[in-house]
Structure 1
Amino acid sequence: MALRIHFSSDDITQTRLAQAPDPMWEVLLSLHMLQTNDGPLVFGQWRREVRGRLSRSMRPLLALAPPRGYSPDFLTPAAATGGIDLGVSALLSTPRSRLRGDLALLAASQQRLSPCVRELAEGDVEALRDLGQAIHTYHRLALAPYWPRLQAEVGADLAARTRAASDVPTDSFDHMMRMLHPGLEWQSPVLILHGPHVHGDLHLNGQGLLLLPSFFCWRAPTVLRNHDLPPVVVYPIEHQPTQLAHDRTRGPAGKGLVALLGRTRATLLETIAEGGSTTELARSADITPATASHHVSVLREAGLIVTRRTGGAVLHTLTPLGSDLLNGRPLT
């Protein structure tokens, strides 16, 4: 099965590649991951930490985000690109008719709805307010401690794509669309999303498409079911093969940061801020590529950079912690 997304020339002009993760999409997709054992090399430690923090009050939220199948579109309002507070505020303003429609689709995919979800479907104001509070609480416990890592990984993925696109002497839009994800097929002017739960045709009609990179999206891109909503394709970034875990060693006393002291690593960090491959880093510090690779490993283990491989090139970018250190901001 496949969904065919049709572009006009105006749609190509209006299509945007988001530059940061969307907090409401990460809430929803992380709820999916929390209820599975997928991606243990990346998410295993995060799951163990988060499951130990959550209380039974999160059960209504889990009921709205089953690990497989449909989740209500109203959980990911477009306003969330401005932050979690704006996202929750937009959710609280969801019209009753849309709540009923989305939750009817959820009911059709499940044997029975929990009482709190039925109250939402009936437009209960208190139930909707409780949902907003639950999302805020979940975000604080399950995402906020890890948000710098999420932002860094998404930023590194975007930097690698931008660098790769600039190195290809072809139409940049066509190249961007072709390299987004194996589950997306670009046959200009149609983007084809393959998957068991998508089908039909979506004509953008001049509004363009938001391409949204996501840390918690796993294996396959996803879209909103309701084609009347602002169109978005959420796609998985390429993950680092390391566990997502709460960083408890930040600050000058951390072993990784102590290891950074020295002119060579400072030079490499400055060069990475401008974007560069391992070969370019070696040249900037007047060292061999092998020596540069060693220093880069120390920087990466300290949480100051992330690394991406694109084709035959290995590219490095700063994490928020690395940027703070380089710019002399307090490491909190």
Structure 2
Amino acid sequence: MLHIHFSMADLSRIRIAQEPDPAWEILLSLHALGGPADHVVFGPWRSETLTRLDPSARMLLALAPPRGYSPDFLTPAGAPDVRSVVDAVLSTGRGQLRADLAQLAVRRRTPSWTRLLAEGDLETLGRLGSALNRYHDRVLARRWDRIRAVTEADRALRARDFLDGGAEGLLGGLGPAARWEAPVLTVDYPLDQQLRLRGRGLRLIPSYFCWRRPITLLDEELTPVLVYPANRGLHLLTGPERPGRSALARLLGRARASVLEEIALSGGTTEGDIARRLGMSPASASAHTAVLRGTGLIATHGVADTARHTLTPLGLSLIEGHLPVDGPPYGTGPPGPEH
């Protein structure tokens, strides 16, 4: 478990990223590329993207394995665009390069060039910067508008949680993988980690490529961040955006299918909003959400005394027209930065 410890000062210094963070989207998309070909959300994108990579991407994939630790220096704080990301990465101090790459070497066999990188070798750093630029241009740039649409919609949802319930409503709405019990936010995590904010606040970063549960940095002294899965709703980076409505209605019934679609399109909503938007009674909305929750298609969590419904991975896979993969999906091991 990850335990994030807040003071009163920290609660007043929570910020939500205004734009998708290019460093984190690069890193987490690299994790997705190393995942299974039939992944329920990223599989089609992965198959398409692997045909577009050039040899420089091998350097990035070596630093960003799909499970386990990835060096903290790959995700510098506050870099608004890929140019700033590259500048910040290339400006990383030699001490941090050595420490981060030593952490990586403890967990897996690393290529010989990582020793040069750890010493700040200018040629090796230049190769890394070029690889980051080329990867972003070839893989993410053409999809950036859709990634931005997803993260902006999620930011609007978090803002509504804050208006309804303040900082505690915002933190309580990050579930189901995160739970707020003042003054600690507890996050499902593959290892035990403590993050004490000490008045620095917390930057929340919704991410398209973050899968299943939030992640953070390993080094507690760096700017505190929590990167969490933005609700993708019906936004995929490749392939059809939604299945035929008639097929979903035949499976679930027209009214229940409409409720599931409304939850997906809204990125998370209440029974009152469902009833109002679909023109049904609150009792009917409640009955439909109870069935959807009982079958594992939605999750319900409380925000400021209000129950909010969101899609589960199973619900997302159904509404996007996929079947869940057998066995553990991408992200069930330690998240990218093993924190």
> What TM-score, normalized to structure 1?
0.71
CA drift of 1:83 comes to 1.4
8 A Cα contact 2:14 2:167, kept in partner = no
The Cα of 1:54 is off from its aligned counterpart by 0.4
Are the equivalent residues in 2 in contact too, given 1:58–1:138 (CA < 8 A)? yes
Counterpart check, 1:308 vs 2:305: no
1:114 paired residue among 111, 116, 119: 111
The residue that corresponds to 2:19 in the other structure is: 20
Q: Secondary structure at the match of 1:224?
A: coil
Aligned to 2:181: 187
Is residue 160 of structure 2 the alignment partner of residue 163 of structure 1? yes
Structure 2 residue runs without a partner (length 5+): 241-254, 278-339
Unaligned runs of 5+ in 1: 248-289, 298-305, 316-332
* CA distance in structure 1 between the partners assigned to 2:104 and 2:161 by the alignment: 40
What is the deviation of 1:39?
7.5
Larger deviation, residues 126-135 vs 182-191: 182-191
CA contact (8 A) 1:15 1:210 kept: yes
C-alpha separation in 1, matches of 2:23 and 2:133 = 10
Residue aligned with 2:12, SS: helix
**Shift in Å, 1:73:** 0.2
Question: Is contact 1:164–1:310 with CA below 8 Å preserved after alignment?
Answer: no
Of residues 224, 228, 235, the one that matches 1:235 is: 228
**By how many angstroms is 1:45 displaced?**
2.3
Structure-1 residue corresponding to 2:134: 137
**Distance in 2 between the 1:158 and 1:152 partners?**
10
Shift in Å at residue 235 of structure 1? 0.4
Q: Partner amino acid for 1:223?
A: T
Q: CA deviation at 1:11?
A: 0.9
Structure 1 residues 151-185: Cα deviation after superposition (integer angstroms, max 9, x where no partner): 0011112223333554x4xx321111011132211
Deviations 1:2-58 (A, max 9, x none): 222111111111111112210000000000001102783432222122111102221
- Post-superposition shift, 1:109? 0.4
Q: 1:244 aligns with which of 237, 240, 246?
A: 237
Following the alignment from structure 1 to structure 2, what is the Cα–Cα distance between the partners of residues 202 and 186? 14
Residue 245 of structure 1 deviates from its aligned partner by 1.9
Give 1:226's aligned residue. 219
Asked whether 1:53 is paired with 2:14, we answer no
How far apart, CA to CA, are the structure 2 residues paired with 1:22 and 1:234?
A: 9
- Residues 62-85 of structure 1 show CA distances to partners (whole Å, capped at 9, x for unaligned) of 0000000000000000031x2111
Give me the CA root mean square deviation. Answer: 2.4
* Count of matched residue pairs: 255
Alignment partner of 1:177 is 2:171: yes
SS in 2 for 1:192: strand
Query: Of 210, 221, 225, which residue of structure 2 is paired with 1:217?
Result: 210
Q: Secondary structure at the match of 1:27?
A: helix
1:196 maps to what in 2? 190
Higher alpha-carbon Rg: 1
Measured after TM superposition, the shift of residue 134 of structure 1 is 0.3
Residue 285 of structure 1: aligned partner: none
What CA distance in whole angstroms lies between the structure 2 residues aligned with 1:59 and 1:155? 31
Q: Which residue of structure 2 aligns with residue 328 of structure 1?
A: none
